[in-house]
Amino acid sequence: MEYLAYGKTGLEISRLCFGAGRIKDTCDTIEAGSKLILKALDEGVTFWDTAEGYGTQPHLGEAIRQIRREEVVIQTKTAVKNYDSASNSIEKALRELQTGYVDVMLLHAIASPEDLAAREREGVLDAFREAKAAGKIRVIGCSTHTYTGPVMDAVIDHPEIEVILTTANKQGRMLEGGSIDRHLEYIQRAYDTGKGISIMKVVVAGGIPEADMPEWIEWGFNLETAHAINLGMTNYPHITLDVGLARASARRRLIQRKAA
């Protein structure tokens, strides 16, 4: 597994990120979900992504309870739109994740420049700032769901957004508002400014044939401007395949660096 700096955040992450968005679909209990996540950790996946809205913070929390907190980097998100709700979301995240701090807290699914600039989101950012000052959050960022274009300009230019979770896959599937080639230019710009970059929808939320998965996942790992490849692993075979591809990519990148 490759470990690298998450942009200029000061965090070190595994390049493969465990996306916990859909583990409730396959894991009947919190314990079963935590076992799946801990298997990924055994394989070296130290970067875990969740959100208040997925309902899987408790699954991560049960896993965190069984390890040393500093072994993992936890990224979560809230889609709420005011200060009070955001403060509650932060406290809920700490409680459900069974931790004293969240490594990365994201504004969930920024849909437009107006959405980012809205008074409601500013209230959420106020709550994030306060929590950061109190040591409850280490890094602030956002996800942009499937959107590109002006929303990328807005989040890249925002000085407090340190991390961006965005859609990227080899055909630009699910991307709204521009082509994948243009989107990759935005990602390059964000990367060059030192933001931490995670990509999602790498396998189109499961919308490609099973046989094509390795090729699409490999495309993600070949994207040099992505610090993390967030894959929504929901079972043990997914972990085996994704970890194998992550390790192969790490070997290739090491050889390239040595040759350079």
Ligand X SMILES: NC(=O)c1ccc[n+]([C@@H]2O[C@H](COP(=O)([O-])OP(=O)(O)OC[C@H]3O[C@@H](n4cnc5c(N)ncnc54)[C@H](OP(=O)(O)O)[C@@H]3O)[C@@H](O)[C@H]2O)c1
Q: What is the contact surface with ligand X in residues (CB under 6 A)? A: 19-22, 49, 77, 108-109, 143, 145, 165, 200-206, 213, 230-234, 238, 241-242
Q: Which is nearer to ligand X, 114 or 255 (CB)?
A: 114
3-state secondary structure at position 196: strand
Burial 139-174 (b: 16+ CB within 10 A, else e): bbbbbbbbbbbebbebbbebeebbbbbbbbbbebbe
Angle at 251 between CA 245 and CA 257, to 5 degrees: 135
Q: Show the tokens assigned to 54.
A: 């997925």
Q: Which is nearer to ligand X, 38 or 205 (CB)?
A: 205
The answer to whether residue 6 is catalytic is no
| Cβ at position 260, least distance to ligand X in Å | 30
Q: Could you give the CA distance from residue 107 to residue 4 in angstroms, rounded to a whole number?
A: 23
3-state secondary structure at position 107: strand
The answer to whether residue 147 is catalytic is no
Choosing from 3, 59, 83, 108, which is the catalytic residue? 108
Say what angle helices 83-97 and 57-65 make with each other, to 10 degrees: 40
| Cβ at position 110, least distance to ligand X in Å | 9
Which of 100, 29, 25 is closest to 64 using CA atoms? 100
Choosing from 54, 147, 186, 191, which is the catalytic residue? 54
| Cβ at position 20, least distance to ligand X in Å | 6
* Start-end of H helices in the chain: 23-26, 30-42, 57-65, 83-97, 113-117, 119-133, 150-157, 180-192, 213-222, 236-259
| Cβ at position 11, least distance to ligand X in Å | 17
Which of 75, 48, 54 is closest to 163 using CA atoms? 75
Q: Could you give the CA distance from residue 25 to residue 222 in angstroms, rounded to a whole number?
A: 29
Q: Which is nearer to ligand X, 64 or 256 (CB)?
A: 64
Enumerate the β-bridge partners of residue 105. Answer: 76, 140
Q: Which is nearer to ligand X, 148 or 234 (CB)?
A: 234
Q: Which is nearer to ligand X, 223 or 256 (CB)?
A: 223
| Cβ at position 170, least distance to ligand X in Å | 12
Query: What residues are annotated to the active site?
Result: 54, 108
